[in-house]
Amino acid sequence: MSNIISVIRCFSKKRLFIMKYKLYRYKNDHPFKFIEFYKYFTTVIAFLVINFIIFKILIGLANNYIIVEPFEVPTQLSNSGYTGKTIATKIINRMEYLTSKSVFRNNNEIINASSSVYKSDIIIPYASNTLTSIVMSIREVISDPLFIISGFIVSDNKNDLKMKYIMKGKRRLILTNDNDYVINKDNDLDEIINNAALKILVQIDPSTVAGYYFRVEDYKSVIAICNAINKMEPRYAGITYSIWANAHLKLSEFDKALNKIEEAAKYINSKDLKTNVYAVWGDILRKKCAFSEAIVKYKVVSDNNSKDSYPYYMIGDILILQKKYNESITYLNRAIDLDKDNPKKKDTIFAISNVINTLRKVSDDELDKINSNLNMIIISQDIY
């Protein structure tokens, strides 16, 4: 094998030498043609680079942008590697992480709570001499940023660290204690930075933060943010009401959840959002034992996305509770058929297959006695 590799390398070096030699001969035999070719080549490259920069600027202008300036930090922090630029970079990285984790329903249709209406580029001014920095500098001349974020970190007499951030721009939400210093009881600077990023992001993209709180199961914070969003940004009610209803559902506040999901249905503007809204709507009605109405909502989900197994599991489950066992088998079979190629659903398919076998083999009278147990088996599986 090593001999073959050596032969290939030798051949490649020989071809490269021949190409360089031919180029050298052509340059000496046709000096004027070579110069003309070189000028043409450099002109084309320059033209492409200039057009690429213009394209980047035009694309950039389509989005809002936010400037995060280097924070003022004590000398001891700067000497330990936490410079002002480092703090700004960590805040931006944390906000990007929070945005990536703002999913509030995790099934075949993953809905990210971050709405395109809040899409913004977040930059540190003069961070480098890259093309991106040049483009951002031009953008500053052409348009104003949505926010300019700055701040400082101080250490008190007990050497406890606290951060103060300053946002210049129109604040979207009014939340309690929003202007307080950001602290951490363990004096953990990274946690202080993370908490500050969360507070800043709620002004930039509140739906993302609501989605993040939903993911970490802080449903009361979700409700508080959604309530504030609805008062300040009623134009973007679809995603807000959907997250809001999800939070009430998790807290078993079914009447409130139903009210919010009915509002969300009025503002559906995408296929993905429709899938989520009607799935949650079905879940709420199922919890309220409105089984026939719940099936109608789940069928909307399956019609909207035929590859989503979730509504088939739920309809199959409801039909068991309604003692319609043969119909239930049809829907449960369809669900596991959709999931058969998903290795993560192996245990789920095994459990549901056992339920189907029970439905086929056991008499209806016996099934009536154990249907609640079969129901618990289904809903305890990873069917999302």
| pLDDT tens figures, 11-60 | 455 565 565 555 555 555 555 454 566 666 778 788 787 777 677 666 65
This prediction has a pTM of 0.70
Residues of the chain with pLDDT > 90: what percent? 32
Q: Are 182 and 200 in contact (CB under 8 A)?
A: no
What is the average per-residue pLDDT within 238-262?
92
Dihedrals phi, psi of 66, to nearest 5 degrees: -130, 135
Neighbours of 113 (CB within 10 A): 27
pLDDT attached to residue 20: 56
Q: Which two tokens stand for residue 126?
A: 């003069």
Residues 6+ apart with CB under 8 A from 218: none
Whether residue 185 has pLDDT greater than 60: yes
- H or E element in which residue 95 lies: helix 84-100
Are β-strands 111-112 and 103-105 bridged in parallel, bridged antiparallel, or unpaired?
antiparallel
pLDDT attached to residue 252: 94
Q: List Cβ<8 Å contacts ≥24 apart for 358-362.
A: 359/320, 359/325, 359/326, 359/328, 359/329, 359/332, 360/329
What is the average per-residue pLDDT within 259-274?
87
Kindly report which listed range (56-70, 78-92, 338-352) carries the lowest average pLDDT score. Answer: 56-70
Q: Are 202 and 225 in contact (CB under 8 A)?
A: yes
In the predicted model, what is the mean pLDDT of the chain?
80
Whether residue 136 has pLDDT greater than 80: no
Using alpha carbons only, give the angle 195, 201, 206 rounded to the nearest 5 degrees: 120
pLDDT attached to residue 379: 85
Q: What is the pLDDT of residues 332-369, one digit of tens each?
A: 999 999 999 888 889 999 999 999 999 999 998 998 88
Whether residue 5 has pLDDT greater than 50: no
CA distance 40 to 275: 55
pLDDT attached to residue 62: 60
Collapse the DSSP code of 223 into the 3-class scheme (helix H, G, I; strand E, B; otherwise coil) and give the result. helix
Whether residue 177 has pLDDT greater than 60: no
pLDDT attached to residue 18: 62
Q: Are 304 and 274 in contact (CB under 8 A)?
A: yes
Whether residue 6 has pLDDT greater than 60: no
CA distance 188 to 365: 62
Whether residue 117 has pLDDT greater than 70: no
Q: Which two tokens stand for residue 317?
A: 């489950």
pLDDT attached to residue 4: 46
Residues 6+ apart with CB under 8 A from 24: none
Q: What is the pLDDT of residues 99-108, one digit of tens each?
A: 877 655 444 3
Q: Fill in the DSSP letter of residue 181.
A: P
Dihedrals phi, psi of 103, to nearest 5 degrees: -95, 130
Q: Which of 173, 305, 149, 284 is nearest to 236 (CA)?
A: 173
pLDDT attached to residue 37: 60
DSSP string, 77-92: HHHTT--HHHHHHHHH
Whether residue 303 has pLDDT greater than 90: yes
Residues 6+ apart with CB under 8 A from 198: 94, 98, 209, 212
CA distance 206 to 95: 12
Going from N- to C-terminal start, the domains of the chain cover 1-62, 64-129+143-216
CATH level 3 topology of 64-129+143-216: Rossmann fold (3.40.50)
Q: What is the pLDDT of residues 279-297, one digit of tens each?
A: 999 999 999 999 999 999 9
What is the average per-residue pLDDT within 111-122?
53
pLDDT attached to residue 56: 63
- H or E element in which residue 167 lies: strand 161-168
